[in-house]
Structure formats: structure tokens, C-alpha cells
């Protein structure tokens, strides 16, 4: 056979093409395997991430029966540290049978049962209040940044209203035996619209719901500049000065 026999080149060419096809096939299989593995690990990492951060968006489960608040503890935590329980009194609160004093500019009196007045509530996510209304008494516009609120009218007629984030006003006059609910963080109020006194009992899903009264923008320390308030309320600064004076701020 000649050294330059064309059949030899044809055989080599076919062999080379076969190896090339095999290489490409194996390469595609490898790429698919890598892609599947990358997809799996990406999904796995996402699941692990969700499991890891999910507790950040909800209250943690209780790790003990109770944690009576040590209100005088030097340690600052998100809540209050626990203290040793030496008496059953930590779990009971009295004094709500009597009406609270309503002799103030709003005509309301509040008996509060949150962690600051009832340390046994610490970490339990619960608190309550009793509100007594003089005739025409009003709980001014306010919010609870850490809690929803549900209430029950014990006596009288009370107008209850709140404002949604879409600026829709929801309200109703409630009589004794009727309930209401205020979603977390929404601006709301209560007003005695009956002929005599009124009383409501409210409950919160926080041991310290917090209360932000809208009118406090006029009495902050240090004060909010009059120009800022005037621009927000679209009034002259003299009006802001007059409102502040009503709250004793000069």
C-alpha cells in the first residue's frame, strides 16, 4: 500500500470526526449535569435562607412558662429581662372596678394593663385597657405601632372609627355588648356620643402596644419647627403657634 494512499486519510478523518462527536456529546451531558446541580443548590440555598430568616418576621415561640418583667433591670433588651417569681401577685391585677378620673381636656380616664403596670404580661403578647368616658369624652386620633386592638363596649354609646392606608374612613356607633377591631398601626379614635358616661374594655396582641397621639407633633421635645408643621397642614405659621399655645408650648 502506498504511503500516500487516500484511504488512510479517509479513515483518519472518520476516526477524528467520531471522537469529535463523542467529545461534544459528553460535553453537553456534563453541561446539563452542571446546570441541574446549580439549579438544585440554588433552590436548596433559597430554602435554607427562608428557614433561617423566617423567625425575624414573627414573634419567637415561648421557651418557658412565663417571664415576669424586671422593670428595674440595667440590661436593655427587646422587652424586659425575667426576674425570679416569689409571689402569685405577679399574675393578677386589681383596681379596675372603679371608674378612672376623666377630669382632663379629653374627658377620658384610662386604666392600663400592659407590661409596665402588670409585669406578668412580659413576652406573652397580651395587654388590656379600661377606658372611661365623661359625656362627650374623646380618645384623640392615635395609632398603636406594635399591635392590633379589639374592644368591647360595657356601658353607653361610643363612636369608633379608623382610617385605612387608602384614606378610607370606617366608623360605627356601638352600644353596650358590641365589639370592634382596629387593624395594627392605623389611625383611630373613640368618642362618647351618648347622653351619659361610657366605658369600653380593649385588648391588644402586644404586651406593650405603644401609643402615638397625632397631636403630639405640636408638643415634641425638641419642638418640630413651625414651618414644617405649617407646610404639612397647609396653614399659616401663626395657626401653628396658636395650636401649640393651647398645649402650653410657647
Name which of 129, 95, 97 is nearest 112 in CA terms.
129
204 touches 128 (CB < 8 A): yes
- Grid cell for residue 19: 471522537
DSSP per position, 175-226: ETT-EEEE-TT-EEEEEE-SSS-EEEEEEESSSS---EEGGGGGS-SSPPPH
Buried b or exposed e, range 125-143, using 16+ CB within 10 angstroms: ebbbbbbbbbeebbbeebb
C-alpha cell belonging to residue 148? 392590633
Q: Is 144 annotated as a binding residue?
A: yes
The answer to whether 26 is a known ligand-binding residue is no
Q: Is 35 annotated as a binding residue?
A: no
Residue 149 marked in a binding site: yes
Element spanning 25, H or E: helix 6-53
Please give the annotated binding residues, written as ranges: 142, 144, 149, 188
Please give the annotated binding residues for Mn(2+), written as ranges: 142, 144, 149, 188
Please give the annotated binding residues for oxalate, written as ranges: 144, 149
Amino acid at each position: 500500500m502506498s504511503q500516500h494512499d487516500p484511504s488512510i486519510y479517509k479513515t483518519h478523518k472518520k476516526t477524528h470526526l467520531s471522537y469529535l462527536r463523542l467529545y461534544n456529546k459528553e460535553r453537553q451531558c456534563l453541561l446539563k449535569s452542571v446546570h441541574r446541580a446549580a439549579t438544585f443548590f440554588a433552590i436548596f440555598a433559597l430554602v435554607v435562607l427562608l428557614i433561617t430568616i423566617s423567625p425575624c418576621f414573627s414573634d419567637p415561640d415561648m421557651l418557658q412558662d412565663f417571664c415576669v418583667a424586671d422593670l428595674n433591670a440595667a440590661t436593655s433588651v427587646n422587652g424586659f429581662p425575667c426576674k425570679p417569681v416569689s409571689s402569685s401577685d405577679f399574675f393578677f391585677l386589681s383596681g379596675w372596678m372603679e371608674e378612672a378620673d376623666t377630669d382632663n381636656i379629653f374627658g377620658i380616664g384610662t386604666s392600663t394593663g400592659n407590661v409596665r403596670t402588670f409585669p406578668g404580661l412580659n413576652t406573652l403578647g397580651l395587654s388590656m385597657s379600661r377606658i372611661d368616658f365623661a359625656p362627650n369624652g374623646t380618645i384623640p386620633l392615635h395609632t398603636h405601632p406594635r399591635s392590633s386592638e379589639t374592644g368591647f363596649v360595657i356601658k353607653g354609646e361610643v363612636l369608633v372609627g379608623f382610617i385605612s392606608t387608602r384614606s378610607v374612613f370606617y366608623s360605627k356607633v356601638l352600644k353596650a355588648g358590641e365589639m370592634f377591631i382596629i387593624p395594627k398601626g392605623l389611625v383611630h379614635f373613640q368618642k362618647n356620643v351618648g347622653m351619659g358616661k361610657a366605658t369600653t374594655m380593649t385588648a391588644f396582641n402586644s404586651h406593650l402596644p405603644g401609643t402615638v397621639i397625632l397631636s403630639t407633633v405640636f408638643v415634641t421635645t425638641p419642638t418640630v419647627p413651625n414651618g414644617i408643621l405649617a407646610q404639612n397642614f397647609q396653614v399659616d405659621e401663626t395657626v401653628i403657634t396658636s395650636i401649640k399655645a393651647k398645649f402650653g408650648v410657647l
